Structure 1
């Protein structure tokens, strides 16, 4: 019976984490593959459970299972923060450039997105795998059972404040990422506005779409190396924040 309880609680934390974390939470990731990954992580994490007492009370067992689900969702949320911030930056750029008028439903992210949102997202995915951060993320969820044993989660006020601060840092990172291109396109809008007042005969709308598209792509290509470094640093920091959160929950 104790083996079944441990397996069920392991599954609660791991599957709730996989339901919201990067890569594995995507709709394009097959459900069968999610079950295989979840089952493999449960088997890998089982040796880390050294001190667990069987819970005879069904209500108490349900409360422990809910705590495990909440803790898994919290870890997954923190690991996903950087990806959400990057998507936010892409949406701001799309809006300023004009690509938001051509938004389409993205079956992978399950949101309406345009060109730069998709471009930034997939660039982030590529950098995530190039830096082998998926291994660090998996290590974090496995090691969490050694740091925070089953049923002992205590998400204090300090932990909540830390999550709020990480959210603020994510918004700041998103604004920093989008600012150069948004400012450049905004300057183009101002110049085109002056031209439209000087020469009303020119079709500024059609001209602006072409100019802003070309300028945004050129800026992206020129900043690609710095952008890759910026994303890599923030991705590493994001996974590190998840590990720090695990250590703070005891």
Structure 2
């Protein structure tokens, strides 16, 4: 249930709470046969400690599965800022954050690629299988696991920069050219011109890179699920 509270798609505010309970309850029922070799705990203090460990373990898995989506949103925000769409941010009821056009577009493209590649089943399988790999009460968040999480966060930032770089650089070049024009011909309203020019160029670059973008997202999503599975194995 802690994994459902933070994992992609299911954790969205627009996802009905009743559906979250149904999905979480289904995972509990599906995982029950995988739980073997556990011992009964009569000490309430020890039971609370084990429960807290399980909750933290679920949150860690959810955080790792969410990293690619967070990186995509970060890339969209950098593009929106450079193109000028950040001035037209609106409240997104699905993600519960303020976002502009490219942030939403990149996010829903990532969601589409996630389902097209059937990665939701791999993610759910990893959660259920975690009870076999890491029996109840035995997980140990050691230094290697924490270092791995930090490295995955670094890779997410690198992915977001790589994703946004082509469009950001192109729009930056346009800003430089418009600055030169503004100095040469002060009578031109560069502000109004820049908004339309950068929007058109941004859309053109997005359409040209769309096929490569979907391939890039698919590779990173698959790698994100594999990283979550590797994390589960690393805490045994």
TM-score of the superposition, structure 2-length normalised?
Answer: 1.00
Shift of 1:95: 0.0
* Partner of residue 29 from structure 2, selected from 21, 43, 46: 43
Return the offset for 1:50. Answer: 1.1
* Unpaired segments ≥5 residues, structure 2: none
Q: Shift of the alpha carbon at 1:220?
A: 0.2
- Supply the distance in 2 between the matched residues of 1:138 and 1:18 (Cα, whole angstroms): 10
1:131 aligns with 2:139: no
User: Which residue number in structure 2 is paired with residue 196 of structure 1?
Assistant: 182
Structure 2 partner of 1:9: none
Give the distance between the partners of 1:89 and 1:37, measured in 2 at CA: 30
2:77 matches 1:91: yes
**Shift of the alpha carbon at 1:105?**
0.8
Could you list the structure 1 runs, at least 4 aligned residues long, displaced by more than 3 angstroms after superposition: none
Q: Deviations over 1:104-123 (max 9, x none)?
A: 11111111100000000000
Q: CA RMSD of the aligned region, Å?
A: 0.4
**In structure 1, the residue corresponding to 2:95 is in which secondary structure?**
coil
Does 1:187 pair with 2:173?
yes
Q: Does 1:214 align with 2:200?
A: yes
1:161 paired with 2:147, answer: yes
Match of 1:60 in 2: 46
1:81 lines up with 2:67 in the alignment: yes
Name which of 1, 16, 24 aligns with 2:10: 24
Shift of 1:148: 0.2
* TM-score, normalising length: structure 1: 0.94
Q: Output the CA distance in 2 between the equivalents of 1:227 and 1:88.
A: 15
- The CA deviation string for residues 180-208 of structure 1, in whole angstroms up to 9 with x for no partner, is 00000000000000000000000000000
Unaligned runs of 5+ in 1: 1-14
1:101 equivalent to 2:65? Answer no
Paired position in structure 2 for 1:226: 212
**CA distance, structure 2, for counterparts of residue 23 and residue 146 of structure 1:** 25
Q: Provide Cα deviations, 1:31-63, integer angstroms capped at 9, x if missing partner.
A: 000111111111110000111111000011000
What is the DSSP-based 3-state SS (H/G/I as helix, E as strand, rest coil) of the residue aligned with 1:112? strand
Equivalent position of 1:244 in the other structure: 230
Choose from 147, 160, 165 the match for 1:174.
160
Q: For 1:213-241, what per-residue CA distance to the aligned partner results, in whole angstroms no more than 9, with x for missing partners?
A: 00000000000000000000000000100
